[in-house]
Structure 1
Amino acid sequence: MMNLSRNVYILVFAQACFFACSMAVFTFAGLSGQELASDPAYATLPVSLYIVSAALATGPLSLLMQRTSRRFGFRLGASFGVFGGLLCVASLYSGSFVLLCIATVSMGPFQASAQYYRFAAGESVSKAQAPRAISLILLGGVASAFAVPVATGWLNNYFEGYSYLGSFVFVVGAATLVFLPIAFLKPLEAKHGSGETEGTGEIRTLGQIIRTPKFVIAVINAGLGYAMMSFVMTATPLAMVKAGFPASQGAYVIQWHVVAMFLPGLVTGNLITRFGVLPILLAGQALFAGAFVVALSGVEAWQFTLSLVMLGVGWNFCFVGGTSLLTQVHTDSEKGKVQGVNEIIVFGFSGVASFGAGVILQKFGWATVNETAFAMLGIAVFATVIWGLTDARKQPVPES
């Protein structure tokens, strides 16, 4: 194991707790919505509100943490997670779809704060170690993949009179656990600057930064990568129930999807260090394409599983690659506004996609969900290839 700051390992544990909550919300909020909503087309609205709320909270949280500390922001976010989880429990106990929507909105700031775990990890190590630290944080989600189906299954059986209520009892407990490691997080110091103006003392305007090609490609890959993943993942449990599978089978597929999302964290950082960001982004996009092809080939259990596994690895490559590219765009003094805008865009895309998944699935079917995802992928591939070709032309030609 590489020698990294203690902060990185603390954040890995926090990431595991957070993603346990997020996995439970993505798996069971849609199923709960389907039971409580008057129109099944609105089944994924609670999930969408969760993501949109996170998008709206990312900017303020980024600025708040820059003015206070990462530790304060992370603990504040976890507080929202506990509160929102309790509201989810109350909504299922009372059978209120409106309260379920309010509950997932309340959990949004928890999702928003947790997105900065990877940035905090990158800030805790040297510039050379940043891609490895970022990918290791995402590895924390692997533990969640195995814990969530077992724990939520047991708790749902315990509260068998209320469908899925036990899942949100689990969310409350997992969000509470975040407080423990974050209490030991060391204050972060500027380990390295990464922006193109480092050393000049110049702080660029946000408009100048977002016009840089690296920022655009970082956001496209992280944003559309997250949107495609959320779009298909949110629809999958509902599509499987429509295809005749039990909800537990959908949870099993999501489990292996989450493993595929985070297990590559063992190697993604090293691959970026060795081969560069561009090949990893293109590999991720190829995996997305494979996932959609498999999903379109049929609705057997193995097709759902294989598609979601490929979707997970593709997301990891695009998300880690995009995040690593973003760290090259800003200086330490610029990070608050740049990271905030990035997260707003990423989760704005994801929120729209997750709601659209429910509507498209109900109105047009599973095949159309994946065909729509293919269209999103085309945008990401086109932009990345053009940037790659343009960037290659800028490289100096070695003298013979």
Structure 2
Amino acid sequence: MRIAVFDVTEPIVRRLTATLFAGQSIASLGMTAAITVGSIAAAELFGTTALGGVPTTMYVLGTALGAYPAGRFMNLRGRRAGLALGFLVGVLGASFGAFALMGLIPLLLFAGHLIMGLSRGALDQGRYAAGDLVTQEHRARAISWVVLGGVVGGIGGPLFIAPAGRFAAQLGLNPLAGPYLAGAILFLFGSAMMFALLRPDPRDVARQLARVDVTLPVDSTRPRTFWEAFRSYNVQTAVAAMMLGQVVMTSVMVMTPLQITEHLHHTLEDVSLVIAAHVTGMYATSLITGRVADRVGHARTILIGAFLLILACVLVPFANDTWRLAAAMFVLGAGWNFCFVAGSSLLTDSLRPNERARIQGTNDLLVGLVAAAGSLMSGFVFATIGYIGIAFAGIMLAVSLFVITLWIVQRENALPRTE
């Protein structure tokens, strides 16, 4: 294997982090705009709200299925090639969604969401790429800065729905096709940016840091399998945080647009506001979560996230106006962020450079499969019990995360930070 040798300087790290931030921003903008209207598009095309959860289920399932091969590919070919290819896959998926709403085969909507999920599974590895660029004491903050890029989608994605829809209508198309067409254009630009600007590759930076820093594990050690690494309490804590945080957030979020339009009888503009508040909570809180995790430890940060998830699930079924629901959904997004950033940082800290991408991809696969199951069930729960049933399930899962984290911490008799 050819080994790249270069000086890991601060300007290089800043430039690569800025590129990853921009990539996350583009991905979030395109994905959020399309996913927000997915449940509404499904109800329109198939004539039933029971299938409203299927587009997001396919998206989350695709995210899970795309994560592991993306991780293996990046381990072999580098983060730059993997992220550029991930954006190109997103172009295909968004185009399929647009074709379905242009009057072609309705099932293309589900296929498009599945393919966009495959794209997201690759693009989500960008946060781990940021962790590759720095040493352990700065890792949570580096990851949080890239996750912060999602705030662009949190604010711009939902707010972009209405003008994109009006533009599509002016072209004689279904207004719901607008967000998908816009997403395809954004993903094409993101691929070109990753290919041109993400140099040197973050994978090579991580290996260079391991060679010059004797405190880091080196690549000469045999890489572990996922299940070998999972014996570590740190890895168990990280996986539990990302898995349960994701399923709670996804299950509540996916049916919120239908709750707004079908039960509260509000408009698409109200959907845009609520989802914008939610996605802003998911990503804007990255301004503080990285510092909190680096300062107080990963486990305490995860416990804060679990508490916020519980609080949000208590609030959402009783929020009968747009502003209260927006506030509750912001809290839900913030809880997810605390779990996501702390879990991602803790997992990276616990892995060696030569095994990170593959094991991180396996983790994201498992997280995505569980979240997909939760998303699928949310549609049926919503159709039979209602929004309050989804909220109650979210409370139970968030309480489980809180208890599991406390249990793991007590077993090792210390808050986990490193192995």
Query: TM tier, shorter chain?
Result: over 0.9
1:318-357 C-alpha deviation (Å, 9 max, x unpaired): 0001111101221111113311211101111221122222
1:111-151 C-alpha deviation (Å, 9 max, x unpaired): 01111100111102222221111000011111222322343
Aligned residue number for residue 242 of structure 2: 222
Quick one: structure 1 residues 297 and 61, their matched pair in 2 at CA, closer, same or farther if it must change by over 3 Å? Answer: same
| 1:165 pairs with 2:185 | no
Aligned residue number for residue 7 of structure 2: none
| 1:354 pairs with 2:375 | yes
Given that residues 314 and 395 in structure 2 are in contact (C-alpha distance below 8 angstroms), is that contact kept between their aligned partners in structure 1?
Answer: no
The separation in 2 between residues aligned to 1:256 and 1:206, in whole angstroms, is 35
Task: Give the unaligned 5+ runs of structure 2.
Answer: 1-9
Please report the RMSD computed on the Cα atoms of aligned residues, expressed in angstroms: 2.0
Given that residues 222 and 323 in structure 1 are in contact (C-alpha distance below 8 angstroms), is that contact kept between their aligned partners in structure 2?
Answer: yes
After TM superposition, give the deviation of residue 240 of structure 1 in Å. Answer: 0.8
Given that residues 43 and 358 in structure 1 are in contact (C-alpha distance below 8 angstroms), is that contact kept between their aligned partners in structure 2?
Answer: yes
Q: For structure 1, which segment, 20-29 or 71-80, has the greater mean C-alpha deviation from structure 2 after superposition?
A: 20-29
The separation in 1 between residues aligned to 2:79 and 2:141, in whole angstroms, is 20
Quick one: structure 1 residues 155 and 282, their matched pair in 2 at CA, closer, same or farther if it must change by over 3 Å? Answer: same
Pick from 226, 241, 247 the counterpart of residue 261 of structure 2. 241
1:203-223 C-alpha deviation (Å, 9 max, x unpaired): 333322122221111111111
Given that residues 125 and 191 in structure 1 are in contact (C-alpha distance below 8 angstroms), is that contact kept between their aligned partners in structure 2?
Answer: no
Q: For structure 1, which segment, 3-12 or 82-91, has the greater mean C-alpha deviation from structure 2 after superposition?
A: 3-12
After TM superposition, give the deviation of residue 10 of structure 1 in Å. Answer: 0.2
Amino acid at match of 1:381: F
Amino acid at match of 1:165: A
Pick from 198, 203, 207 the counterpart of residue 185 of structure 1. 198
Q: Give 4+ residue runs of structure 1 displaced > 6 Å after superposition.
A: none
Given that residues 86 and 119 in structure 2 are in contact (C-alpha distance below 8 angstroms), is that contact kept between their aligned partners in structure 1?
Answer: yes
Amino acid at match of 2:310: A
1:37-89 C-alpha deviation (Å, 9 max, x unpaired): 24321122121111111211211111111111211111111111111111111
After TM superposition, give the deviation of residue 202 of structure 1 in Å. Answer: 3.8
Task: Give the unaligned 5+ runs of structure 1.
Answer: 396-400
Amino acid at match of 1:124: L
After TM superposition, give the deviation of residue 197 of structure 1 in Å. Answer: 9.4
The separation in 1 between residues aligned to 2:390 and 2:414, in whole angstroms, is 37
The separation in 2 between residues aligned to 1:11 and 1:263, in whole angstroms, is 16
After TM superposition, give the deviation of residue 317 of structure 1 in Å. Answer: 0.3
The separation in 2 between residues aligned to 1:106 and 1:265, in whole angstroms, is 27
After TM superposition, give the deviation of residue 163 of structure 1 in Å. Answer: 3.5
The separation in 1 between residues aligned to 2:292 and 2:415, in whole angstroms, is 23
Given that residues 83 and 106 in structure 1 are in contact (C-alpha distance below 8 angstroms), is that contact kept between their aligned partners in structure 2?
Answer: yes
After TM superposition, give the deviation of residue 191 of structure 1 in Å. Answer: 4.9
Amino acid at match of 2:51: Y
After TM superposition, give the deviation of residue 192 of structure 1 in Å. Answer: 4.5
| 1:345 pairs with 2:377 | no
Given that residues 127 and 192 in structure 1 are in contact (C-alpha distance below 8 angstroms), is that contact kept between their aligned partners in structure 2?
Answer: no
The separation in 1 between residues aligned to 2:414 and 2:239, in whole angstroms, is 22
Quick one: structure 1 residues 380 and 86, their matched pair in 2 at CA, closer, same or farther if it must change by over 3 Å? Answer: same
Pick from 276, 279, 287 the counterpart of residue 266 of structure 1. 287
User: Aligned to 2:349, what secondary structure does the other structure show?
Assistant: coil
| 1:42 pairs with 2:51 | yes
Q: For structure 1, which segment, 25-34 or 184-193, has the greater mean C-alpha deviation from structure 2 after superposition?
A: 184-193
The separation in 1 between residues aligned to 2:319 and 2:292, in whole angstroms, is 33
Normalized against structure 1, the TM-score is what? 0.93
After TM superposition, give the deviation of residue 92 of structure 1 in Å. Answer: 0.1
Given that residues 78 and 110 in structure 1 are in contact (C-alpha distance below 8 angstroms), is that contact kept between their aligned partners in structure 2?
Answer: yes
Pick from 44, 66, 78 the counterpart of residue 57 of structure 1. 66
1:162-181 C-alpha deviation (Å, 9 max, x unpaired): 14111111111221221232
Q: For structure 1, which segment, 63-72 or 198-207, has the greater mean C-alpha deviation from structure 2 after superposition?
A: 198-207
The separation in 1 between residues aligned to 2:369 and 2:322, in whole angstroms, is 31
Aligned residue number for residue 398 of structure 1: none
The separation in 1 between residues aligned to 2:283 and 2:100, in whole angstroms, is 31
Q: Among the aligned pairs, what percent are the same residue? A: 24
Given that residues 32 and 163 in structure 1 are in contact (C-alpha distance below 8 angstroms), is that contact kept between their aligned partners in structure 2?
Answer: no
The separation in 1 between residues aligned to 2:45 and 2:96, in whole angstroms, is 15
Given that residues 293 and 301 in structure 2 are in contact (C-alpha distance below 8 angstroms), is that contact kept between their aligned partners in structure 1?
Answer: yes
Aligned residue number for residue 404 of structure 2: 383
Given that residues 100 and 109 in structure 2 are in contact (C-alpha distance below 8 angstroms), is that contact kept between their aligned partners in structure 1?
Answer: yes
The separation in 2 between residues aligned to 1:390 and 1:286, in whole angstroms, is 21
After superposition, residues 1-400 of structure 1 pair within 5 angstroms as: 4-94=13-103, 96-160=105-169, 161-182=173-194, 183-186=196-199, 187-188=201-202, 189=204, 190-192=207-209, 198=217, 201-242=221-262, 243-392=264-413
The separation in 1 between residues aligned to 2:315 and 2:115, in whole angstroms, is 36
The separation in 2 between residues aligned to 1:328 and 1:127, in whole angstroms, is 6
Amino acid at match of 1:59: Y
Quick one: structure 1 residues 383 and 171, their matched pair in 2 at CA, closer, same or farther if it must change by over 3 Å? Answer: same
User: Aligned to 1:333, what secondary structure does the other structure show?
Assistant: coil
Given that residues 220 and 380 in structure 1 are in contact (C-alpha distance below 8 angstroms), is that contact kept between their aligned partners in structure 2?
Answer: yes
After TM superposition, give the deviation of residue 26 of structure 1 in Å. Answer: 2.2
Amino acid at match of 1:114: L
1:186-206 C-alpha deviation (Å, 9 max, x unpaired): 123225559x99358243333
Normalized against structure 2, the TM-score is what? 0.89
Given that residues 268 and 317 in structure 1 are in contact (C-alpha distance below 8 angstroms), is that contact kept between their aligned partners in structure 2?
Answer: yes
